[in-house]
Structure 1
Amino acid sequence: MRISDLSRLSGTPVGTIKYYLREGLLPPGRPLGATLTLYGDEHVQRLRLIRALTSRGGLSIAATRDIVTAMDQPLEPLDTLKVVHYSLPTPVDAAETDAVDEHLPRVDRLLTALGWDVSAESPHRRALAASLMDLSRLGLEYSTEDLLPYAEPAAAVARLDLDRLEHIDDRLRLAEYAAIVVLLLEPVLAVLRRLAQENESHHRAAFTATTDETAPKPRPQD
């Protein structure tokens, strides 16, 4: 397909495609002459990934280049997933290095208690430590025992995610799906939690009201 067809199929302006080509995010097409270059379905797929990373993920061109470059390497699916996860921004700012470091042992104790195999290089360790730090500053201390019940549903969600990724062999499709799951499904999970809290609150309020109505009334004193 010509670059105009690639633009139409991917929904990406021609000028943007040329920019991605110059920046090395998009592999060159197959030249058929001085003014004609052909592109294939793999270019459409790569453009979808770039859009997911830059528009939805808010990644810089440099960070996006790191991911798509890794996609061109002969990585195993789980290594591909790791590259994507480590490149995407964490939901928590862990910029206060020294303060965050003080809370890393709490994270490691939790991971040990869970038996989770997590790399020491994982940015998510620091993100969790930063979150625990923020909670501590507000006077809310969550111990390992407090966090264990929260980790159980997280593990169940992770199994569901990996079940969906398990049979995707193509690295580009895997990277695109992983990025979309992280970027678009995480807000869905957060909203589902809030809806569940609202539902639970209503049930508890209704139960309290029913209990108050059925409780024996005190007898009037003579």
Structure 2
Amino acid sequence: MYTIHPEGYQQVPEARMRMAELSRRTGVPVPTIKYYLREGLLLPGERTSPNQAFYDESHIRRLRMIRALAEVGGLPIAKVRDVLDAVDSPEEPFEVLGAVQHSIEPPTGNREGVHWEAATRRVSQLLADHGWRANVHSPPAQTLIAALASLHELGRDDLADLIERYAPHVEKIAEEDVKRVARGRGIEDTVEGVVIGTVLGETMLGALRRLAHQHATANALGVSADYEDRKRSGSGRE
């Protein structure tokens, strides 16, 4: 850390704090911090005695990332560990993205049968049509295949057909994501942006879609704009 001094820039020691202060500044309870330390999610502080340690800004940043992944992103601790391992690796952002995707994608279950085969062909064709540099064996492609296979099995081809409509819009979203992550930042911030953007971006996009669903459904059904307010206040009851 550097600060301006009359004689020029001088390096000053980074602010250090006890665990209680770390807890206060991050909002993470002390027992939870100790749990993260035991689990290896948070690096140990600088030991000053067997029972005392100092922590710094890097611990604050790390705790905020853990909270973002676990509490907002909804990842279980085991997945958070996998994602943080990817962040700590010396790999390039593209490799980190692959590791993160592999960590956060849900299991896809049974990967056989006519529905799975049809979904695989469809995703393969989608990738080819859009020239996306990905393959059907990548974690997100496998998740998409599993979703399509389930829709085919349920007889909801009308919903499966939405992937062709979604694709060009999602491509634009991805381009905006990458611009924000990569512009004018160092490798550490870029890697962190890839991780946080992938996990929390998924959360934001899902929440926006659900909000838009509420709006579109209300319009389609002729629900009044103040319906939710009246429902919360109880005035909407007959």
Q: TM-score, normalised by structure 1?
A: 0.76
- Match in the other structure for 1:124: 140
For 1:35 and 1:147, the matched residues in 2 are separated by: 56
- Match in the other structure for 1:98: 112
2:197 is the alignment partner of 1:192: no
Residue 151 of structure 2 aligns to which amino acid in structure 1?
L
For 1:23 and 1:58, the matched residues in 2 are separated by: 18
**Which has a greater percent of strand?**
2
Please list every run of 5 or more consecutive structure 2 residues that lacks an aligned counterpart in the other structure: 1-16, 222-238
2:25 is the alignment partner of 1:5: no
- Match in the other structure for 2:86: 70
For 2:81 and 2:133, the matched residues in 1 are separated by: 28
Residue 63 of structure 2 aligns to which amino acid in structure 1?
L
Change over 3 Å in CA distance of 1:143–1:17 after alignment to 2: closer
Measured after TM superposition, the shift of residue 151 of structure 1 is: 0.9
Residues 58-79 of structure 1 show CA distances to partners (whole Å, capped at 9, x for unaligned) of 3222221111112111122233
SS in 1 for 2:109: coil
For 2:169 and 2:42, the matched residues in 1 are separated by: 38
Q: Is the 8 A contact 1:77 1:174 kept in 2?
A: yes
Equivalences for 1:203-218 in 2 at 5 Å? none
Equivalences for 1:36-185 in 2 at 5 Å? 36-90=52-106, 94-99=108-113, 101-102=116-117, 103-141=119-157, 147-167=163-183, 168-169=185-186, 170=189, 171-185=191-205
* Matched positions, count: 200
Bigger relative contact order (CA 8 A; separation at least 6)? 1
Change over 3 Å in CA distance of 1:191–1:34 after alignment to 2: same
**Percent of aligned positions with the same letter in both sequences?**
35
Residue 180 of structure 1 aligns to which amino acid in structure 2?
L
| Two-structure CA RMSD over aligned residues (Å) | 2.8
Residues 99-154 of structure 1 show CA distances to partners (whole Å, capped at 9, x for unaligned) of 46422122111111111111444222122112222222233436998743321111
For 1:49 and 1:68, the matched residues in 2 are separated by: 9
SS in 2 for 1:98: coil
SS in 1 for 2:75: coil
For 2:203 and 2:162, the matched residues in 1 are separated by: 27
Residue 31 of structure 1 aligns to which amino acid in structure 2?
R
Q: Is the 8 A contact 1:6 1:44 kept in 2?
A: yes
Q: TM-score, normalised by structure 2?
A: 0.72
Which range moves more in the overlay, 142-151 or 55-64?
142-151
Residues 158-206 of structure 1 show CA distances to partners (whole Å, capped at 9, x for unaligned) of 111112111343233542343221223332134335635766x59xxxx
SS in 1 for 2:50: coil
- Match in the other structure for 2:47: 31
Asked which structure has the greater CA Rg, the reply is: 1
